[in-house]
Amino acid sequence: EPEVTQTPSHQVTQMGQEVILRCVPISNHLYFYWYRQILGQKVEFLVSFYNNEISEKSEIFDDQFSVERPDGSNFTLKIRSTKLEDSAMYFCASREKSSYNSPLHFGNGTRLTVT
Protein backbone atom coordinates (compact mmCIF):
# COMPACT_ATOMS: atom_id res chain seq x y z
CA GLU A 1 0.00 0.00 0.00
CA PRO A 2 1.43 3.45 -0.88
CA GLU A 3 2.51 5.49 2.08
CA VAL A 4 3.74 8.92 3.08
CA THR A 5 7.44 8.84 3.93
CA GLN A 6 9.29 11.31 6.13
CA THR A 7 12.98 11.89 6.67
CA PRO A 8 14.82 12.02 8.92
CA SER A 9 13.05 10.08 11.65
CA HIS A 10 14.93 12.06 14.30
CA GLN A 11 16.66 15.42 13.97
CA VAL A 12 18.68 17.09 16.70
CA THR A 13 19.62 20.72 16.23
CA GLN A 14 20.88 23.65 18.25
CA MET A 15 18.70 26.62 19.04
CA GLY A 16 18.89 29.23 16.30
CA GLN A 17 19.76 26.78 13.56
CA GLU A 18 17.66 26.17 10.48
CA VAL A 19 16.12 22.76 9.90
CA ILE A 20 14.39 21.24 6.91
CA LEU A 21 12.00 18.34 7.40
CA ARG A 22 11.27 16.29 4.33
CA CYS A 23 8.22 14.40 3.18
CA VAL A 24 7.29 12.40 0.13
CA PRO A 25 3.48 12.32 -0.12
CA ILE A 26 1.60 9.53 -1.85
CA SER A 27 2.15 9.98 -5.57
CA ASN A 28 -1.40 10.72 -6.76
CA HIS A 29 -2.26 12.95 -3.80
CA LEU A 30 -2.74 16.65 -4.41
CA TYR A 31 -3.21 18.09 -0.91
CA PHE A 32 -0.42 18.20 1.61
CA TYR A 33 -0.29 19.06 5.28
CA TRP A 34 2.08 19.52 8.18
CA TYR A 35 1.10 18.90 11.77
CA ARG A 36 3.08 18.96 14.96
CA GLN A 37 2.64 17.20 18.27
CA ILE A 38 4.50 18.40 21.33
CA LEU A 39 5.14 15.52 23.73
CA GLY A 40 1.98 14.72 25.67
CA GLN A 41 -0.11 17.24 23.80
CA LYS A 42 -2.54 17.17 20.93
CA VAL A 43 -1.86 16.99 17.23
CA GLU A 44 -1.87 20.58 15.95
CA PHE A 45 -2.46 21.67 12.39
CA LEU A 46 0.28 23.87 10.94
CA VAL A 47 -0.35 24.34 7.24
CA SER A 48 -2.06 22.92 4.18
CA PHE A 49 -0.69 23.18 0.64
CA TYR A 50 -2.28 22.74 -2.75
CA ASN A 51 -1.30 23.68 -6.28
CA ASN A 52 2.04 25.04 -5.13
CA GLU A 53 0.67 27.44 -2.61
CA ILE A 54 -0.46 27.55 0.99
CA SER A 55 -4.22 27.09 1.23
CA GLU A 56 -4.58 27.44 5.00
CA LYS A 57 -2.28 27.98 7.95
CA SER A 58 -2.67 28.12 11.70
CA GLU A 59 -1.47 30.75 14.17
CA ILE A 60 1.48 28.51 14.95
CA PHE A 61 2.75 28.81 11.38
CA ASP A 62 4.49 32.16 11.76
CA ASP A 63 7.29 33.75 9.75
CA GLN A 64 9.80 31.24 11.10
CA PHE A 65 8.08 28.49 9.13
CA SER A 66 7.90 27.93 5.40
CA VAL A 67 6.86 25.09 3.13
CA GLU A 68 7.94 24.19 -0.34
CA ARG A 69 7.37 21.59 -2.99
CA PRO A 70 10.75 21.83 -4.73
CA ASP A 71 10.03 19.07 -7.23
CA GLY A 72 7.26 16.68 -8.19
CA SER A 73 7.67 14.44 -5.19
CA ASN A 74 9.08 16.21 -2.12
CA PHE A 75 7.25 18.47 0.30
CA THR A 76 9.39 20.26 2.87
CA LEU A 77 8.90 22.19 6.09
CA LYS A 78 11.62 24.68 6.97
CA ILE A 79 12.05 26.24 10.38
CA ARG A 80 14.34 29.22 9.95
CA SER A 81 15.68 29.76 13.46
CA THR A 82 14.69 26.99 15.81
CA LYS A 83 13.60 27.62 19.38
CA LEU A 84 13.49 25.19 22.27
CA GLU A 85 9.70 25.14 22.05
CA ASP A 86 9.87 23.85 18.48
CA SER A 87 10.86 20.46 19.89
CA ALA A 88 8.05 18.17 18.84
CA MET A 89 7.05 15.39 16.50
CA TYR A 90 6.26 16.75 13.06
CA PHE A 91 3.87 14.80 10.88
CA CYS A 92 3.38 15.20 7.17
CA ALA A 93 0.06 14.08 5.69
CA SER A 94 -1.56 13.98 2.29
CA ARG A 95 -4.95 13.32 0.75
CA GLU A 96 -6.06 12.63 -2.78
CA LYS A 97 -8.93 15.09 -3.10
CA SER A 98 -10.27 18.13 -1.34
CA SER A 99 -13.65 16.55 -0.67
CA TYR A 100 -14.44 16.23 3.00
CA ASN A 101 -14.58 12.45 2.81
CA SER A 102 -11.13 11.97 1.32
CA PRO A 103 -9.04 10.40 4.09
CA LEU A 104 -5.82 11.90 5.37
CA HIS A 105 -2.74 9.67 5.29
CA PHE A 106 0.01 10.40 7.81
CA GLY A 107 3.72 9.77 7.57
CA ASN A 108 5.63 8.24 10.48
CA GLY A 109 6.85 11.60 11.65
CA THR A 110 10.12 13.38 12.36
CA ARG A 111 11.05 13.89 15.97
CA LEU A 112 12.74 17.29 16.24
CA THR A 113 14.83 17.98 19.31
CA VAL A 114 16.13 21.52 19.78
CA THR A 115 18.92 21.87 22.35
Partner 1 sequence: QKEVEQNSGPLSVPEGAIASLNCTYSDRGSQSFFWYRQYSGKSPELIMSIYSNGDKEDGRFTAQLNKASQYVSLLIRDSQPSDSATYLCAVSYALNFGKGTSLLVTP
* Identity of residue 19: V
3-state secondary structure of 86: helix
- Shortest separation between residue 109's beta carbon and partner 1, angstroms: 5
- Taking alpha carbons only, the member of 110, 115, 104 closest to residue 20 is 110
Beta bridge partners of 110: 90
Assign residue 66 a region: left if phi > 0, alpha if psi is -120 to 50, beta otherwise?
beta
- Shortest separation between residue 93's beta carbon and partner 1, angstroms: 8
Q: By CB under 8 A, name the binding residues for partner 1.
A: 35, 41-45, 48, 56, 89, 91, 93, 100-101, 103-109
- Shortest separation between residue 7's beta carbon and partner 1, angstroms: 14
- Residue 45's contacts (CB-CB under 8 Å, 6 or more residues apart) are 33, 35, 58
If the CB atoms of residues 27 and 41 are measured against partner 1, the closer one turns out to be 41
If the CB atoms of residues 42 and 72 are measured against partner 1, the closer one turns out to be 42
- Shortest separation between residue 53's beta carbon and partner 1, angstroms: 17
If the CB atoms of residues 71 and 100 are measured against partner 1, the closer one turns out to be 100
If the CB atoms of residues 12 and 43 are measured against partner 1, the closer one turns out to be 43
